[in-house]
Structure 1
């Protein structure tokens, strides 16, 4: 099953609610990921551009997009970013495939 890096930034209102009533939001979204056929591998709170980061397995891009849409529609996040991840083996296979693709950059 493919892996995805999920990153989300909370709204000020969501942070105010979490400060008032601290809760593990990974546990709150776990049932959503599982309902989409996926699994949360690991997750962290962060500071900077994104506030929460998770590595998840989801069946496909459609399921990953569905999670992003559901999370965004809830109103607690102001930004969400989903990045498909490849294993090193998949990356090496892509490099080998690229080598034989015959692409030529534009010449000046």
Structure 2
């Protein structure tokens, strides 16, 4: 299964929900959503700084990842960015794949 990093930032009203129900409740919501999308949540961590949550999910494909991100973003309480993660083996395979490329102006 593909792995995705979801980076979330709460609006103030979203953070009020975290304060009211706790961090474990939010992690369970995301775990349940990942399962509903056909995958699983590998990790869920709160953070200091500009971003509030870093979550890694294993999902069947980009459509499942997009569906999860769209559902969260549609709430209006959280802004999510999605990063596709590559394993070292994926990078090894990609580094051996022939690609025809010409740099700009060449």
Q: Distance in 2 between matches of 1:31 and 1:65?
A: 16
Q: C-alpha deviations, 1:7-27, integer Å up to 9, x for none? A: 110011111232244242111
Classify the secondary structure of the residue corresponding to 1:65: helix
TM-score normalized by structure 1? 0.88
The residue correspondences of 1:68-79 to structure 2 (distance < 5 A) are: 68-77=69-78, 79=79
Question: Which residue matches 1:35?
Answer: 36
Matched residues, number: 105
1:57-72 matched pairs, under 5 angstroms: 57-72=58-73
Sort the Cα spacing of 1:32 and 1:9 in 2 relative to 1 into closer, same or farther, 3 A: same
1:27-106 aligned within 5 A: 27-77=28-78, 79-97=79-97, 100-106=98-104
User: Which residue of structure 1 lines up, in the alignment, with residue 9 of structure 2?
Assistant: 9
Cα RMSD, aligned residues only: 1.5
Q: Which runs of 5+ in 2 are unaligned?
A: none
1:28-61 CA-partner distances (Å, limit 9, x unpaired)? 2211110110100111001222101111100000
CA gap 1:96/1:18 in 2 versus in 1, 3 angstroms: same
